[in-house]
């Protein structure tokens, strides 16, 4: 039900895999190598799959990292899919880490899932580490030495005014010698911090030569994830109302990337009377009078 293989989401996990593993308490890490996606029975391995080499341990250990902006009820099922895909391809069960960036409501990622066969003689079970960034203490990572931790620390629990912690994040990023990496890291930090802090505060902290840090690649990533979240909300709403959503309906929703069209489909999911009715509404042309997502 999700847009599994978004290229910019893959970039995010590959770029920050070491820091995300560190945040999850995985150590002592000697090296991290992203695993290239491969075709498996016309499907792909998860983009968040990495090989982690540990100090004092022979051979790498597969880790699967899932990063969600908010918690979704469907995440456990999606993680089970990813575990099975990895096992089918590698004959190894990966270590799984589910990271959620921001507290978006009452839903929490389940730490495990069990699926039984109709007669209950066979079952699938899987479990994973669940990391909710807002439940971690930023103080445990301060003073900040690793620039790669800066974006994630902004989403952790901060005791007292947030400005000094955000300034530390900015300062450690400024130590990077490579201008391109520095700009991207500032962009990631600005975008993720925007999940919880107001624009005025971020404008003061992230201005460079009189302007805000701009990173078109990261802005595109964030927008893609936002649209994917709407896809997921639409499909979860349909499942609650009508039961399992057919694959053709799920695929038709997930290929929609135009904001106005996503908004129309979202409204259609509220008022449709059946899955067939919703399927018919998907084929209707876009109305120019409709407003974009709000």
User: Would the pLDDT of 40 be above 50?
Assistant: no
- The verdict on residue 293 lying in a domain is no
User: Would the pLDDT of 18 be above 70?
Assistant: yes
Which among 113, 133, 153 is the end of a domain? 133
- The verdict on residue 1 lying in a domain is no
Average pLDDT over the chain, rounded to an integer: 83
- The verdict on residue 288 lying in a domain is no
Residues 86, 52 share a domain = yes
- The verdict on residue 65 lying in a domain is yes
Which among 181, 214, 247 is the end of a domain? 214
CA 144, 146, 147, 152 torsion-angle sign: negative
Residues 50, 149 share a domain = no
Per the structure, the complete domain to which residue 88 belongs is given by: 7-133
- The verdict on residue 2 lying in a domain is no
User: Would the pLDDT of 130 be above 90?
Assistant: yes
How many helices and strands, by DSSP H and E, does the chain display? 10, 11
Percent of the chain with pLDDT over 70: 84
Residues 110, 15 share a domain = yes
pLDDT grade for 2, boundaries at 50, 70 and 90: very low
Residues 12, 118 share a domain = yes
Q: How far is CA 18 from the centre of its chain?
A: 16
Per residue in 85-113, pLDDT (tens digit) is 999 988 999 999 999 998 876 778 999 99
Residues 112, 27 share a domain = yes
d(CA 53, CA 47) in angstroms, rounded, equals 18
The reply to whether omega before 143 is within 30° of 0 (cis) is: yes
d(CA 37, CA 5) in angstroms, rounded, equals 9
pLDDT given for residue 42 in this prediction: 40
Task: Provide mean pLDDT across the span 49-59.
Answer: 93
Residues 84, 126 share a domain = yes
Residues 127, 161 share a domain = no
Calculate ∠ Cα 44-217-37, nearest 5°: 15
Q: What's the farthest any 2 CA atoms get from each other in the chain?
A: 67
pLDDT given for residue 107 in this prediction: 79
d(CA 149, CA 172) in angstroms, rounded, equals 9
Tokens 């964030």 locate to 222
d(CA 94, CA 84) in angstroms, rounded, equals 9
pLDDT given for residue 257 in this prediction: 82
Tokens representing residue 211 in the block: 């302007």
Residues 160, 129 share a domain = no
pLDDT given for residue 205 in this prediction: 78
Torsion of CA 181, 185, 186, 189, to 10 degrees: 180
Number of residues assigned to the chain: 294
Contact 70, 105 (CB under 8 A): yes
User: Would the pLDDT of 61 be above 90?
Assistant: yes
- The verdict on residue 12 lying in a domain is yes
Contact 10, 57 (CB under 8 A): no
Tokens representing residue 12 in the block: 């995010």
Which residues have CB under 8 Å from 140's CB, separation 6+? Answer: none
Q: Mean pLDDT check: name the lowest of 39-43, 118-122, 236-240.
A: 39-43
Comparing 12 with 27, which gets the higher pLDDT? 27
d(CA 216, CA 252) in angstroms, rounded, equals 27
Comparing 290 with 222, which gets the higher pLDDT? 222
Residues 199, 242 share a domain = no
105: left (phi over 0), alpha (psi -120 to 50) or beta: left
pLDDT given for residue 8 in this prediction: 53
- The verdict on residue 158 lying in a domain is yes
Structural domain count of the chain = 3
User: Would the pLDDT of 293 be above 50?
Assistant: no
- The verdict on residue 292 lying in a domain is no
Residues 21, 119 share a domain = yes
Residues 45, 102 share a domain = yes
Residues 153, 60 share a domain = no
Which among 214, 238, 259 is the end of a domain? 214
Per residue in 218-255, pLDDT (tens digit) is 566 667 767 877 888 898 889 889 998 888 888 889 88
pLDDT given for residue 251 in this prediction: 84
User: Would the pLDDT of 37 be above 70?
Assistant: no
Q: How far is CA 250 from the centre of its chain?
A: 19
d(CA 53, CA 43) in angstroms, rounded, equals 27
Per residue in 197-219, pLDDT (tens digit) is 887 788 777 765 544 455 555 56
Task: Provide mean pLDDT across the span 26-38.
Answer: 84
User: Would the pLDDT of 294 be above 50?
Assistant: no
């Amino acid at each position: 039900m999700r847009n599994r293989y978004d290229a910019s989401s893959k970039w995010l996990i590959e770029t920050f895999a070491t820091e995300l593993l560190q945040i999850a308490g995985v150590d002592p890490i000697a090296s991290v190598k992203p695993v290239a996606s491969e075709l498996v029975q016309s499907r792909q391995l998860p983009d968040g799959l990495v090989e982690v080499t540990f100090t004092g341990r022979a051979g790498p250990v597969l880790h699967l990292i899932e990063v969600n902006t908010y918690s979704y009820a469907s995440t456990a099922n999606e993680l089970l899919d990813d575990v099975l895909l990895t096992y089918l391809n590698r004959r190894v069960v990966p270590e799984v880490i589910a990271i959620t960036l921001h507290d978006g409501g009452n839903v929490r990622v389940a730490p495990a899932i069990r699926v039984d066969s109709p007669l209950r003689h066979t079952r699938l079970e899987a479990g994973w580490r669940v990391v909710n960034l807002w439940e971690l203490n930023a103080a445990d990572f301060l003073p900040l030495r690793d620039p790669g931790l800066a974006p994630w620390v902004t989403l952790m629990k901060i005791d007292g005014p947030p400005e000094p912690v955000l300034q530390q994040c900015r300062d450690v990023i400024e130590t990077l010698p490579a201008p391109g990496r520095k700009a991207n890291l500032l962009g990631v930090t600005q975008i993720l911090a925007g999940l919880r802090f107001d624009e005025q505060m971020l404008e003061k902290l992230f201005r460079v030569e009189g302007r805000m840090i701009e990173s078109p690649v990261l802005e595109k990533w964030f927008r893609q994830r936002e649209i994917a979240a709407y896809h997921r909300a639409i499909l979860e709403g349909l499942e609650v109302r009508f039961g399992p959503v057919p694959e053709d309906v799920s695929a038709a929703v997930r290929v929609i990337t135009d904001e106005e069209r996503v908004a129309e489909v979202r409204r259609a999911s509220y008022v449709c009377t059946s899955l067939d009715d919703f399927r018919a509404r998907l084929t209707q042309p876009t109305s120019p009078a409709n407003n974009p997502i709000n």
